[in-house]
Protein backbone atom coordinates (compact mmCIF):
# COMPACT_ATOMS: atom_id res chain seq x y z
CA UNK A 1 0.00 0.00 0.00
CA UNK A 2 1.12 3.58 -0.56
CA UNK A 3 2.77 5.04 2.50
CA UNK A 4 1.65 8.57 1.59
CA UNK A 5 -1.84 9.93 1.03
CA UNK A 6 -3.23 10.68 -2.41
CA UNK A 7 -3.18 14.15 -3.96
CA UNK A 8 -5.77 15.81 -5.71
CA UNK A 9 34.29 32.52 -31.89
CA UNK A 10 41.67 39.42 -39.55
CA UNK A 11 44.25 36.99 -40.36
CA UNK A 12 47.82 37.35 -39.02
CA UNK A 13 50.40 37.95 -41.75
CA UNK A 14 54.04 37.12 -42.44
CA UNK A 15 56.71 39.15 -40.71
CA UNK A 16 60.46 38.69 -40.52
CA UNK A 17 61.94 36.17 -38.11
CA UNK A 18 64.44 37.26 -35.52
CA UNK A 19 68.06 36.20 -36.05
CA UNK A 20 67.95 33.93 -33.01
CA UNK A 21 64.83 32.25 -34.35
CA UNK A 22 66.47 31.68 -37.75
CA UNK A 23 69.54 30.17 -36.12
CA UNK A 24 67.38 27.87 -34.04
CA UNK A 25 65.44 26.69 -37.07
CA UNK A 26 68.60 26.09 -39.14
CA UNK A 27 70.25 24.23 -36.28
CA UNK A 28 67.27 21.98 -35.82
CA UNK A 29 67.00 21.12 -39.51
CA UNK A 30 70.73 20.44 -39.90
CA UNK A 31 70.52 17.52 -37.54
CA UNK A 32 68.19 15.43 -39.67
CA UNK A 33 68.50 16.17 -43.45
CA UNK A 34 70.79 14.41 -45.90
CA UNK A 35 74.18 16.30 -46.09
CA UNK A 36 74.11 16.40 -49.91
CA UNK A 37 70.96 18.51 -49.86
CA UNK A 38 71.35 20.28 -46.54
CA UNK A 39 72.99 23.47 -47.89
CA UNK A 40 70.22 24.10 -50.42
CA UNK A 41 67.52 23.65 -47.84
CA UNK A 42 69.25 25.82 -45.24
CA UNK A 43 69.69 28.60 -47.80
CA UNK A 44 66.03 28.31 -48.69
CA UNK A 45 64.99 28.66 -45.08
CA UNK A 46 67.22 31.69 -44.60
CA UNK A 47 65.85 33.36 -47.75
CA UNK A 48 62.29 33.00 -46.57
CA UNK A 49 63.13 34.05 -43.04
CA UNK A 50 64.58 37.31 -44.34
CA UNK A 51 61.69 37.94 -46.72
CA UNK A 52 59.64 41.08 -46.05
CA UNK A 53 55.95 40.98 -45.30
CA UNK A 54 53.95 40.10 -48.39
CA UNK A 55 51.47 42.74 -49.53
CA UNK A 56 48.82 42.80 -52.19
CA UNK A 57 48.59 45.22 -55.09
CA UNK A 58 46.40 47.44 -52.93
CA UNK A 59 49.06 47.58 -50.22
CA UNK A 60 47.19 45.31 -47.81
CA UNK A 61 48.78 42.22 -46.25
CA UNK A 62 47.80 38.98 -47.92
CA UNK A 63 46.36 35.95 -46.24
CA UNK A 64 49.62 34.05 -45.59
CA UNK A 65 48.13 30.83 -46.91
CA UNK A 66 47.20 32.47 -50.22
CA UNK A 67 50.78 33.50 -51.16
CA UNK A 68 51.60 31.81 -54.48
CA UNK A 69 55.35 32.51 -54.80
CA UNK A 70 57.37 29.27 -54.97
CA UNK A 71 59.05 28.50 -51.68
CA UNK A 72 62.86 27.98 -51.91
CA UNK A 73 62.36 24.59 -50.28
CA UNK A 74 60.56 23.49 -53.45
CA UNK A 75 62.05 22.94 -56.93
CA UNK A 76 61.36 25.93 -59.27
CA UNK A 77 58.99 23.88 -61.41
CA UNK A 78 57.06 22.46 -58.46
CA UNK A 79 53.84 24.16 -59.56
CA UNK A 80 53.86 22.35 -62.91
CA UNK A 81 54.85 18.82 -61.90
CA UNK A 82 54.63 16.39 -59.06
CA UNK A 83 57.51 16.00 -56.66
CA UNK A 84 59.83 13.04 -57.14
CA UNK A 85 59.96 10.48 -54.37
CA UNK A 86 63.29 11.95 -53.19
CA UNK A 87 61.95 15.51 -53.23
CA UNK A 88 58.87 14.38 -51.37
CA UNK A 89 60.90 12.66 -48.64
CA UNK A 90 63.07 15.78 -48.24
CA UNK A 91 59.99 17.98 -48.00
CA UNK A 92 58.33 15.76 -45.42
CA UNK A 93 61.52 15.84 -43.31
CA UNK A 94 61.70 19.62 -43.57
CA UNK A 95 58.02 20.02 -42.70
CA UNK A 96 58.39 17.80 -39.65
CA UNK A 97 61.25 19.97 -38.41
CA UNK A 98 59.34 23.13 -39.26
CA UNK A 99 56.32 21.95 -37.29
CA UNK A 100 58.51 21.07 -34.32
CA UNK A 101 60.06 24.52 -34.50
CA UNK A 102 56.62 26.12 -34.52
CA UNK A 103 55.61 24.07 -31.51
CA UNK A 104 58.78 25.17 -29.69
CA UNK A 105 57.87 28.80 -30.34
CA UNK A 106 54.35 28.05 -29.15
CA UNK A 107 55.49 26.57 -25.85
CA UNK A 108 57.73 29.61 -25.34
CA UNK A 109 54.76 31.91 -25.87
CA UNK A 110 56.26 33.41 -29.06
CA UNK A 111 53.03 33.42 -31.03
CA UNK A 112 54.33 35.64 -33.86
CA UNK A 113 57.09 33.20 -34.81
CA UNK A 114 54.75 30.29 -34.13
CA UNK A 115 52.35 31.54 -36.76
CA UNK A 116 55.21 32.35 -39.16
CA UNK A 117 56.45 28.75 -38.94
CA UNK A 118 52.93 27.32 -39.09
CA UNK A 119 51.88 29.33 -42.13
CA UNK A 120 54.98 28.33 -44.08
CA UNK A 121 54.37 24.72 -43.08
CA UNK A 122 50.78 24.95 -44.27
CA UNK A 123 51.72 26.50 -47.62
CA UNK A 124 54.37 23.84 -48.22
CA UNK A 125 52.03 21.00 -47.24
CA UNK A 126 50.00 21.82 -50.35
CA UNK A 127 52.78 20.23 -52.45
CA UNK A 128 52.16 16.87 -50.77
CA UNK A 129 48.57 16.66 -52.01
CA UNK A 130 45.12 17.88 -51.01
CA UNK A 131 44.44 15.26 -48.34
CA UNK A 132 47.85 15.83 -46.72
CA UNK A 133 47.24 19.59 -46.77
CA UNK A 134 43.82 19.24 -45.16
CA UNK A 135 45.20 16.94 -42.47
CA UNK A 136 47.95 19.46 -41.68
CA UNK A 137 45.45 22.32 -41.64
CA UNK A 138 43.30 20.41 -39.18
CA UNK A 139 46.18 19.43 -36.91
CA UNK A 140 47.58 22.98 -36.75
CA UNK A 141 44.09 24.40 -36.46
CA UNK A 142 43.46 22.26 -33.41
CA UNK A 143 46.62 23.62 -31.76
CA UNK A 144 45.67 27.18 -32.67
CA UNK A 145 42.18 26.71 -31.24
CA UNK A 146 43.53 25.23 -28.01
CA UNK A 147 45.71 28.35 -27.51
CA UNK A 148 42.93 30.75 -28.46
CA UNK A 149 44.80 31.98 -31.56
CA UNK A 150 41.59 33.03 -33.23
CA UNK A 151 43.18 34.83 -36.20
CA UNK A 152 45.15 31.71 -37.10
CA UNK A 153 42.01 29.59 -36.79
CA UNK A 154 40.21 31.97 -39.15
CA UNK A 155 43.06 31.79 -41.66
CA UNK A 156 42.98 27.99 -41.62
CA UNK A 157 39.19 27.88 -41.83
CA UNK A 158 39.26 30.16 -44.88
CA UNK A 159 41.76 27.89 -46.61
CA UNK A 160 39.71 24.78 -45.87
CA UNK A 161 36.63 26.43 -47.31
CA UNK A 162 38.59 27.36 -50.46
CA UNK A 163 39.59 23.72 -50.85
CA UNK A 164 35.96 22.72 -50.42
CA UNK A 165 34.81 25.28 -53.02
CA UNK A 166 37.39 23.97 -55.50
CA UNK A 167 36.17 20.43 -54.91
CA UNK A 168 32.62 21.59 -55.64
CA UNK A 169 33.85 23.21 -58.86
CA UNK A 170 35.51 19.94 -59.86
CA UNK A 171 32.27 18.11 -59.16
CA UNK A 172 33.55 15.69 -56.53
CA UNK A 173 31.41 16.94 -53.64
CA UNK A 174 27.97 18.51 -53.50
CA UNK A 175 27.42 22.24 -53.35
CA UNK A 176 24.48 22.84 -51.07
CA UNK A 177 23.70 19.94 -48.75
CA UNK A 178 20.26 20.32 -47.25
CA UNK A 179 19.63 19.91 -43.51
CA UNK A 180 18.22 16.95 -41.66
CA UNK A 181 20.36 14.38 -43.44
CA UNK A 182 18.44 14.65 -46.74
CA UNK A 183 19.96 14.14 -50.17
CA UNK A 184 22.33 17.02 -51.11
CA UNK A 185 21.44 19.33 -53.98
CA UNK A 186 23.56 18.95 -57.15
CA UNK A 187 24.93 15.71 -55.74
CA UNK A 188 27.77 14.39 -57.93
CA UNK A 189 27.60 10.85 -59.22
CA UNK A 190 30.84 9.91 -57.48
CA UNK A 191 31.77 11.59 -54.23
CA UNK A 192 35.41 11.96 -53.19
CA UNK A 193 34.91 10.19 -49.88
CA UNK A 194 38.51 10.57 -48.56
CA UNK A 195 38.32 14.31 -49.30
CA UNK A 196 35.01 14.66 -47.50
CA UNK A 197 36.28 12.66 -44.53
CA UNK A 198 39.42 14.81 -44.30
CA UNK A 199 37.37 18.03 -44.50
CA UNK A 200 34.92 16.83 -41.88
CA UNK A 201 37.68 15.89 -39.46
CA UNK A 202 39.50 19.20 -40.03
CA UNK A 203 36.35 21.24 -39.40
CA UNK A 204 35.82 19.30 -36.19
CA UNK A 205 39.41 20.05 -35.13
CA UNK A 206 38.64 23.74 -35.67
CA UNK A 207 35.48 23.37 -33.54
CA UNK A 208 33.35 24.48 -36.49
CA UNK A 209 30.26 22.26 -36.33
CA UNK A 210 28.36 24.53 -38.72
CA UNK A 211 30.97 23.73 -41.41
CA UNK A 212 31.38 20.07 -40.47
CA UNK A 213 27.68 19.17 -40.43
CA UNK A 214 27.03 19.61 -44.20
CA UNK A 215 30.11 17.49 -44.93
CA UNK A 216 28.94 14.64 -42.72
CA UNK A 217 25.44 14.89 -44.19
CA UNK A 218 26.96 14.10 -47.60
CA UNK A 219 28.93 11.23 -46.13
CA UNK A 220 25.81 9.88 -44.43
CA UNK A 221 23.79 10.05 -47.63
CA UNK A 222 26.51 8.13 -49.46
CA UNK A 223 26.77 5.51 -46.72
CA UNK A 224 23.02 4.98 -46.73
CA UNK A 225 22.91 4.75 -50.54
CA UNK A 226 25.67 2.14 -50.54
CA UNK A 227 24.12 0.31 -47.56
CA UNK A 228 27.29 0.64 -45.51
CA UNK A 229 25.90 -0.15 -42.08
CA UNK A 230 28.98 0.69 -40.00
CA UNK A 231 29.60 3.98 -41.81
CA UNK A 232 25.93 4.94 -41.49
CA UNK A 233 25.99 4.55 -37.72
CA UNK A 234 29.36 6.31 -37.37
CA UNK A 235 28.22 9.32 -39.43
CA UNK A 236 24.94 9.53 -37.54
CA UNK A 237 26.85 9.50 -34.25
CA UNK A 238 29.18 12.23 -35.49
CA UNK A 239 26.23 14.35 -36.61
CA UNK A 240 24.54 13.85 -33.26
CA UNK A 241 27.60 15.10 -31.39
CA UNK A 242 27.98 18.05 -33.80
CA UNK A 243 24.36 19.09 -33.35
CA UNK A 244 24.81 18.91 -29.59
CA UNK A 245 28.01 20.99 -29.82
CA UNK A 246 26.04 23.57 -31.80
CA UNK A 247 23.21 23.40 -29.22
CA UNK A 248 20.82 22.45 -32.01
CA UNK A 249 18.78 20.09 -29.89
CA UNK A 250 15.95 19.77 -32.39
CA UNK A 251 18.33 18.42 -35.04
CA UNK A 252 20.07 16.33 -32.38
CA UNK A 253 16.75 14.74 -31.40
CA UNK A 254 16.06 13.80 -35.02
CA UNK A 255 19.55 12.29 -35.36
CA UNK A 256 19.36 10.24 -32.17
CA UNK A 257 15.90 9.01 -33.12
CA UNK A 258 17.48 7.69 -36.33
CA UNK A 259 20.28 6.13 -34.30
CA UNK A 260 17.81 4.43 -31.99
CA UNK A 261 15.82 3.02 -34.92
CA UNK A 262 19.09 1.84 -36.46
CA UNK A 263 20.11 0.10 -33.23
CA UNK A 264 16.72 -1.60 -33.03
CA UNK A 265 17.03 -2.80 -36.63
CA UNK A 266 20.30 -4.59 -35.87
CA UNK A 267 19.21 -5.74 -32.41
CA UNK A 268 21.92 -3.70 -30.67
CA UNK A 269 20.52 -3.52 -27.14
CA UNK A 270 23.47 -1.70 -25.57
CA UNK A 271 23.30 1.18 -28.04
CA UNK A 272 19.52 1.32 -27.82
CA UNK A 273 19.96 2.24 -24.16
CA UNK A 274 22.69 4.79 -24.93
CA UNK A 275 20.62 6.50 -27.61
CA UNK A 276 17.51 6.62 -25.45
CA UNK A 277 19.54 8.18 -22.62
CA UNK A 278 20.83 10.82 -25.05
CA UNK A 279 17.29 11.47 -26.26
CA UNK A 280 16.03 11.91 -22.71
CA UNK A 281 18.75 14.51 -22.06
CA UNK A 282 17.94 16.28 -25.35
CA UNK A 283 14.23 16.45 -24.54
CA UNK A 284 15.11 17.95 -21.16
CA UNK A 285 17.09 20.69 -22.95
CA UNK A 286 14.12 21.27 -25.23
CA UNK A 287 11.82 21.33 -22.19
CA UNK A 288 9.71 18.73 -23.98
CA UNK A 289 8.30 16.99 -20.94
CA UNK A 290 5.95 14.66 -22.81
CA UNK A 291 8.72 13.16 -24.95
CA UNK A 292 11.04 13.16 -21.95
CA UNK A 293 8.55 11.02 -20.02
CA UNK A 294 7.87 8.69 -22.95
CA UNK A 295 11.59 8.17 -23.58
CA UNK A 296 12.31 7.42 -19.93
CA UNK A 297 9.36 5.07 -19.68
CA UNK A 298 10.88 3.16 -22.60
CA UNK A 299 14.26 3.24 -20.88
CA UNK A 300 12.65 1.78 -17.78
CA UNK A 301 11.77 -1.41 -19.63
CA UNK A 302 15.43 -1.79 -20.66
CA UNK A 303 16.72 -1.13 -17.15
CA UNK A 304 14.36 -3.70 -15.68
CA UNK A 305 15.69 -6.46 -17.96
CA UNK A 306 19.38 -5.91 -17.19
CA UNK A 307 20.62 -6.55 -13.66
CA UNK A 308 23.57 -4.16 -14.07
CA UNK A 309 21.18 -1.35 -15.06
CA UNK A 310 18.70 -1.76 -12.23
CA UNK A 311 20.52 0.61 -9.81
CA UNK A 312 19.68 3.37 -12.31
CA UNK A 313 15.94 2.82 -11.95
CA UNK A 314 15.29 5.10 -8.92
CA UNK A 315 16.97 8.10 -10.55
CA UNK A 316 15.04 7.43 -13.75
CA UNK A 317 11.76 7.36 -11.83
CA UNK A 318 12.67 10.61 -10.08
CA UNK A 319 13.29 12.27 -13.47
CA UNK A 320 9.92 11.06 -14.70
CA UNK A 321 8.27 12.36 -11.53
CA UNK A 322 9.93 15.75 -12.02
CA UNK A 323 8.55 15.98 -15.57
CA UNK A 324 5.06 15.12 -14.32
CA UNK A 325 5.39 17.79 -11.66
CA UNK A 326 6.32 20.38 -14.31
CA UNK A 327 3.26 19.28 -16.28
CA UNK A 328 1.14 19.86 -13.15
CA UNK A 329 0.20 16.21 -12.80
CA UNK A 330 0.74 15.75 -9.06
CA UNK A 331 -0.81 12.29 -8.88
CA UNK A 332 1.60 10.82 -11.45
CA UNK A 333 4.49 12.76 -9.90
CA UNK A 334 3.65 11.38 -6.44
CA UNK A 335 3.39 7.82 -7.72
CA UNK A 336 6.80 7.96 -9.41
CA UNK A 337 8.54 9.64 -6.45
CA UNK A 338 7.08 7.02 -4.13
CA UNK A 339 8.08 4.14 -6.41
CA UNK A 340 11.59 5.61 -6.71
CA UNK A 341 11.83 5.72 -2.90
CA UNK A 342 10.67 2.15 -2.47
CA UNK A 343 13.08 0.77 -5.11
CA UNK A 344 15.97 2.82 -3.71
CA UNK A 345 15.40 1.68 -0.13
CA UNK A 346 15.15 -1.95 -1.24
CA UNK A 347 18.49 -1.61 -3.01
CA UNK A 348 20.04 0.44 -0.19
CA UNK A 349 20.54 3.31 -2.64
CA UNK A 350 20.23 5.96 0.03
CA UNK A 351 21.19 8.99 -2.10
CA UNK A 352 18.41 8.16 -4.56
CA UNK A 353 15.99 7.50 -1.68
CA UNK A 354 16.84 10.92 -0.25
CA UNK A 355 16.27 12.62 -3.62
CA UNK A 356 12.92 10.89 -4.02
CA UNK A 357 11.77 11.96 -0.56
CA UNK A 358 12.95 15.53 -1.14
CA UNK A 359 11.02 15.68 -4.40
CA UNK A 360 7.95 14.22 -2.73
CA UNK A 361 8.08 16.63 0.21
CA UNK A 362 8.47 19.59 -2.15
CA UNK A 363 5.50 18.33 -4.14
CA UNK A 364 3.27 18.22 -1.06
CA UNK A 365 4.42 21.69 -0.05
CA UNK A 366 3.60 22.99 -3.52
CA UNK A 367 0.08 21.64 -3.18
CA UNK A 368 -0.36 23.03 0.33
CA UNK A 369 -0.17 19.83 2.33
CA UNK A 370 2.40 20.80 5.00
CA UNK A 371 1.47 18.04 7.45
CA UNK A 372 2.31 15.33 4.92
CA UNK A 373 5.46 17.22 3.91
CA UNK A 374 6.57 17.23 7.56
CA UNK A 375 6.03 13.49 7.83
CA UNK A 376 8.17 12.95 4.75
CA UNK A 377 10.96 15.16 6.13
CA UNK A 378 10.98 13.06 9.30
CA UNK A 379 11.44 9.93 7.17
CA UNK A 380 14.15 11.80 5.24
CA UNK A 381 16.06 12.39 8.48
CA UNK A 382 15.89 8.67 9.24
CA UNK A 383 17.18 7.79 5.76
CA UNK A 384 20.04 10.26 6.17
CA UNK A 385 20.90 8.69 9.52
CA UNK A 386 21.06 5.26 7.88
CA UNK A 387 23.52 6.60 5.29
CA UNK A 388 25.40 8.69 7.90
CA UNK A 389 24.60 11.81 5.86
CA UNK A 390 24.28 14.43 8.54
CA UNK A 391 24.50 17.37 6.11
CA UNK A 392 21.21 16.47 4.47
CA UNK A 393 19.67 15.85 7.88
CA UNK A 394 20.63 19.42 8.75
CA UNK A 395 18.90 20.62 5.59
CA UNK A 396 15.80 18.60 6.43
CA UNK A 397 15.60 20.17 9.90
CA UNK A 398 15.85 23.59 8.27
CA UNK A 399 13.01 22.79 5.88
CA UNK A 400 10.83 21.49 8.70
CA UNK A 401 11.61 24.58 10.74
CA UNK A 402 10.56 26.82 7.87
CA UNK A 403 7.26 24.98 7.51
CA UNK A 404 6.55 25.38 11.23
CA UNK A 405 7.38 29.09 11.05
CA UNK A 406 4.96 29.53 8.16
CA UNK A 407 2.28 27.90 10.29
CA UNK A 408 3.18 29.97 13.37
CA UNK A 409 4.21 26.82 15.23
CA UNK A 410 7.13 28.60 16.90
CA UNK A 411 7.92 25.96 19.54
CA UNK A 412 8.21 23.26 16.89
CA UNK A 413 10.23 25.59 14.65
CA UNK A 414 12.60 26.27 17.57
CA UNK A 415 13.04 22.53 18.13
CA UNK A 416 13.84 21.88 14.45
CA UNK A 417 16.31 24.78 14.15
CA UNK A 418 17.97 23.70 17.40
CA UNK A 419 18.55 20.22 15.95
CA UNK A 420 19.88 21.81 12.79
CA UNK A 421 22.23 24.02 14.82
CA UNK A 422 23.69 20.98 16.61
CA UNK A 423 24.60 19.40 13.28
CA UNK A 424 25.86 22.72 11.90
CA UNK A 425 28.27 23.04 14.83
CA UNK A 426 29.48 19.46 14.29
CA UNK A 427 30.03 20.08 10.58
CA UNK A 428 31.28 23.64 11.19
CA UNK A 429 29.05 25.02 8.47
CA UNK A 430 26.06 27.40 8.46
CA UNK A 431 26.35 27.91 12.21
CA UNK A 432 25.46 31.61 12.01
CA UNK A 433 22.42 30.84 9.87
CA UNK A 434 20.98 28.29 12.28
CA UNK A 435 21.83 30.41 15.30
CA UNK A 436 19.88 33.25 13.71
CA UNK A 437 16.91 30.97 13.04
CA UNK A 438 16.96 29.74 16.64
CA UNK A 439 17.00 33.32 17.93
CA UNK A 440 14.21 34.32 15.57
CA UNK A 441 12.05 31.40 16.68
CA UNK A 442 12.64 32.20 20.37
CA UNK A 443 11.68 35.82 19.85
CA UNK A 444 8.52 34.86 18.00
CA UNK A 445 7.65 32.32 20.67
CA UNK A 446 8.15 34.88 23.44
CA UNK A 447 6.05 37.43 21.62
CA UNK A 448 3.20 35.02 21.29
Provide the β-strand partners of residue 176: 185
CATH code 1.25.40.10 region(s) in the chain: 287-388
For 19-50, how does the pLDDT look when each residue is reduced to its tens digit (9 = 90+)? 334 434 333 433 444 444 444 444 344 434 43
CA pair distance 255, 261, nearest whole angstrom: 10
For 157-180, how does the pLDDT look when each residue is reduced to its tens digit (9 = 90+)? 999 999 999 999 998 998 755 544
Contacts 24+ apart (CB under 8 A), 218-224: 218/173, 218/174, 218/177, 218/184, 218/187, 218/191, 219/191, 219/193, 220/181, 221/181, 221/182, 221/183, 221/184, 221/187, 222/191, 222/193
CA pair distance 218, 10, nearest whole angstrom: 30
For 196-235, how does the pLDDT look when each residue is reduced to its tens digit (9 = 90+)? 999 999 999 999 999 999 999 999 999 999 999 999 999 9
- The residue ranking higher by pLDDT, 360 or 77, is 360
- Asked whether the beta carbons of 5 and 372 are under 8 A apart, the reply is yes
Q: What angle do CA 257, 258, 264 make, to 5 degrees?
A: 90
Query: Quick one: pLDDT at residue 22?
Result: 41
Neighbouring C-beta atoms of residue 185, cutoff 10 Å = 10
- Asked whether the beta carbons of 72 and 48 are under 8 A apart, the reply is yes
- What is the CATH architecture assignment of 287-388? Alpha Horseshoe (1.25)
Query: Quick one: pLDDT at residue 177?
Result: 52
CA pair distance 304, 341, nearest whole angstrom: 16
Q: Which of 362, 385, 389, 384 minimizes the C-alpha distance to 373?
A: 362
| 83-87: average pLDDT | 92
For 314-332, how does the pLDDT look when each residue is reduced to its tens digit (9 = 90+)? 999 999 999 999 999 999 9
Amino acid sequence: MPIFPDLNFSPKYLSSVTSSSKFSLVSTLSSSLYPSRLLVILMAIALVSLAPQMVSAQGNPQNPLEITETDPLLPPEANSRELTDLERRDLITALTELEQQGNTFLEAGDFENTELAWNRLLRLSRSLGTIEEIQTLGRIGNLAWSRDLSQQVNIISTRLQRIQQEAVRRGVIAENPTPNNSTPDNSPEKLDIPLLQALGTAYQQLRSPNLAIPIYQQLLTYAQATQNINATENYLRTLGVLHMDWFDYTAAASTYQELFKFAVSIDDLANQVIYLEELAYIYDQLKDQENSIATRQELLTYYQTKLELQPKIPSLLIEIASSYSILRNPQAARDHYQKAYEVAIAGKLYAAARDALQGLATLYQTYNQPDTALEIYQILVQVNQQSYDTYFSMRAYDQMGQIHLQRSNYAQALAMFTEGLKIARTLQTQELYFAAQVERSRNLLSAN
